[in-house]
């Protein structure tokens, strides 16, 4: 097992969406992924020290239809620009995990095109699963082949063919040698020949014993794929579902059952560091799934304090919404900018940053055992304990504060390290703790020796240290864009319309489809700038205020410039 993973906080990015790339590869090289360098201070503010990038290799459309395993998608940049991005991430203490899509390729994959050109005379016919010349494909090729899960734009590779395995291992070798990547997430791992993972593991661990292999597994016994012969970890879809539904149903018994089943003494996955998440590029955004936004913080608190490694899907630190449709996953994979206000209710960044600092400083949350202490529909108390440390996590999804009694031994005081440093006595192996409404306490069991003020100062300094400056970021971006001599730098995307829009009262539709009403226009006497007062028309009817210029600005979504808020009073 790669030990660095235990203390990691992941940030998951779907690069083609994050960068607003065109839907189809147009063959033009654009250095869009360089924007990731701008995000490094934001990542460090949240305590992120590992980035998982979805597919970055050349493809025709969405990245999972690989054209070339040895080349960065030109919509994102080129191999040299990506190498500099990896160097900058590593300089800032952020590890890099890439998406290894080894089950299938796209129809634009060079070997498949060779089969299309030369038919049965192609030397690559055996590279593809069940390719025969006894029929025609759904794309009217003069041959038949197996598509992944019935998708014939995704051609299934024959991983029993040694030449295919050698080609893939050669690509992995290049990524490790040239880009110094730290791990791979294996796409559709449950569809891949197990022996391939054994070969891959031996190769990667020989190159770097700390190299991390994590597989996408949705159903089944995780031990089938995560074991000493194959992968280190898999995606924890069981707890993904358990976290959001236990909050929506006000039924903490559901997630408590999964956590006990997986991680308690004798649990199925006690010795695995599973990959935990609230959402990803394939499932609805947690901001759309959680019915009560007040429960969002508790959902993150569970993910950060349960066994395994937590992962944040880009943009969900602002609780942005996104639902998949039968036709498209586009709403799950938007283009985002750091200077765009995206919070639906409030930013989760400080809360996530706090949780990351706690994980970094308390080993019990990284490697400790798990034990349920008390379970009720709206309250849950569990314990994480290592040889030298015990942490108690207490959660409450009631709309009122709740005093809860539970058994605990091994110390005389519980100190809250999540919110305010409150202390609670332990008497006769019991404690009586107040949990805030729709809130949580993460408490260290101690004998009075723990100094909360020192911890606060230490974590504050850690959060602020070693963050690259704005000037450094700007210089890095300029360096990473190889512009020909005497050629002008690329122009930014043009705004929708040159005219200046004026603020007015009435209904507005946000670019994500949500509706608001501007109910007041005011002048900030300190700045002489116009401010707007607006409210949600649905959900909780929350009231907001912001600078009018920001409200009326244009933003980039999926490569196109759109109004952030469109006047819709006639709707």
Cβ-in-10-Å burial (0-12, 13-18, 19+) of 473 comes to middle
Is domain 506-567 annotated with CATH 3.60.20.10? no
User: Any idea what DSSP says for residue 231?
Assistant: B
The pLDDT of residue 52 is above 90: yes
pLDDT of 524 reads: 65
> What digits encode the pLDDT tens for the residues 165-192?
999 999 999 999 999 999 999 999 999 9
Min mean pLDDT across 74-83, 401-410, 470-479, 533-542 is at: 470-479
The pLDDT of residue 60 is above 60: yes
Residues of the chain with CATH 3.90.400.10: 104-158
Min mean pLDDT across 87-101, 258-272, 430-444, 487-501 is at: 487-501
Higher pLDDT, 457 or 442: 442
Q: How far is CA 172 from CA 40, 182, 201, 251, in A?
A: 25, 11, 11, 44
| Distance between CA atoms of residues 412 and 527, nearest Å | 53
Residues of the chain with CATH 2.30.30.320: 506-567
CB within 8 A of 199, min separation 6: which ones? 165, 169
pLDDT class for 486, splitting at 50, 70, 90?
very low
pLDDT class for 536, splitting at 50, 70, 90?
confident
Q: Are 375 and 253 in contact (CB under 8 A)?
A: yes
How much is the average pLDDT of 15-32? 97
Q: Are 309 and 315 in contact (CB under 8 A)?
A: no
Give the closest residue to 82 by CA, choosing from 22, 23, 43, 37. 37
| Distance between CA atoms of residues 111 and 367, nearest Å | 45
Higher pLDDT, 203 or 328: 203
Dihedral of alpha carbons 61, 64, 68, 70, sign: positive
Give the chain's mean pLDDT.
Answer: 89
Give the closest residue to 239 by CA, choosing from 317, 307, 148. 307
The reported pTM is: 0.81
The pLDDT of residue 483 is above 70: no
Q: Give, to the nearest 10 degrees, the angle between helix 79-91 and helix 162-179.
A: 60
pLDDT of 128 reads: 98
Give the closest residue to 16 by CA, choosing from 7, 2, 8, 26. 26
| Distance between CA atoms of residues 356 and 462, nearest Å | 11
pLDDT class for 492, splitting at 50, 70, 90?
very low
Q: Are 10 and 312 in contact (CB under 8 A)?
A: yes
> What digits encode the pLDDT tens for the residues 351-387?
999 999 999 999 999 999 999 999 999 999 999 999 9
pLDDT of 345 reads: 44
pLDDT class for 554, splitting at 50, 70, 90?
confident
The superfamily (CATH) of domain 104-158 is Oligo-1,6-glucosidase; Domain 2 (3.90.400.10)
How much is the average pLDDT of 58-87? 98
Min mean pLDDT across 275-284, 351-360, 503-512 is at: 503-512
């Amino acid at each position: 097992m790669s030990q660095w993973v235990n203390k990691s906080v992941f940030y998951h990015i779907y690069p083609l969406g994050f960068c607003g790339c065109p839907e189809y590869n147009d063959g033009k090289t654009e250095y869009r992924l360089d924007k990731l360098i701008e995000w490094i201070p934001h990542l460090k503010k949240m305590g992120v020290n590992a980035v998982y990038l979805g597919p970055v290799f050349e493809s025709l459309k969405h990245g999972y239809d690989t054209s070339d395993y040895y080349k960065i998608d030109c919509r994102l940049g080129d191999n040299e620009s990506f190498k500099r991005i990896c160097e900058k991430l590593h300089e800032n203490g952020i590890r890099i995990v890439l998406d290894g899509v080894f089950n299938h390729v796209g129809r634009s994959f060079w070997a498949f095109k060779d089969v299309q050109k030369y038919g049965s005379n192609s030397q690559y016919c055996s590279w593809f699963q069940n390719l025969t010349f006894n029929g025609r494909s759904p794309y009217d090729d003069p041959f038949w082949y197996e598509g992944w899960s019935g998708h014939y734009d995704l051609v299934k590779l024959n991983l029993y063919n040694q030449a295919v395995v050698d080609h893939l291992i050669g690509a992995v070798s290049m990524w490790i040698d040239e880009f110094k990547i730290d791990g791979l997430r294996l796409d559709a791992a449950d569809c891949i020949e197990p022996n391939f993972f054994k070969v891959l593991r031996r190769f990667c661990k020989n190159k770097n014993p700390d190299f991390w292999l994590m597989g996408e597994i949705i159903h089944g016994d995780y031990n089938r794929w995560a074991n000493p012969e194959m992968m280190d970890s898999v995606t924890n879809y069981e707890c993904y579902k358990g976290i959001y539904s236990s909050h929506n149903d006000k039924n903490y018994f559901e997630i408590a059952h999964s956590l006990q089943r997986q991680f308690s003494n004798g649990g199925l996955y006690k010795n695995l560091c599973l990959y935990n998440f609230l959402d990803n590029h394939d499932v609805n955004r947690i901001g759309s799934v959680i019915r009560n936004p007040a429960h969002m913080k508790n959902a993150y608190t569970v993910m950060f304090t349960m066994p395994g490694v937590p992962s944040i899907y880009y943009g969900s630190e602002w609780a942005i919404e996104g639902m998949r449709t039968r036709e498209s996953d586009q709403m799950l994979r938007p283009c985002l900018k750091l200077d765009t206000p995206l919070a639906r209710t409030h930013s989760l960044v400080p809360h996530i940053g706090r949780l990351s600092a706690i994980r970094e400083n308390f080993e019990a949350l990284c490697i400790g055992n798990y034990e349920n202490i008390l379970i009720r529909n709206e309250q849950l108390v569990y314990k994480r304990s290592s040889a030298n440390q015990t942490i108690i996590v207490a959660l409450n999804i009631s709309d009122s504060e709740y005093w809860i009694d539970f058994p605990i031994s091994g110390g005389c005081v519980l100190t809250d390290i999540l919110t305010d440093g409150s202390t609670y006595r332990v008497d006769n192996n019991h404690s009586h703790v107040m949990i805030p409404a729709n809130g949580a306490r993460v408490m260290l069991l101690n004998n009075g020796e723990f100094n909360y003020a020192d911890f606060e100062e230490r974590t504050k300094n850690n959060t602020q240290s070693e963050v690259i400056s704005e000037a450094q970021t700007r210089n890095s971006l300029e360096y990473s864009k190889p512009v020909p001599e005497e050629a002008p730098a690329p122009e930014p995307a043009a705004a929708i319309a040159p005219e200046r829009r004026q603020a007015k009262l009435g209904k507005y539709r946000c670019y994500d489809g949500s509706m608001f009403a501007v109910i007041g226009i005011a002048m900030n006497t300190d700045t002489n700038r116009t401010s707007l007062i607006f409210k949600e028309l649905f959900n909780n009817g929350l009231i907001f205020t912001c600078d009018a210029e920001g409200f009326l600005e244009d933003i980039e979504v999926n490569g196109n410039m759109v109004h952030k808020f469109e006047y819709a009073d006639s709707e």
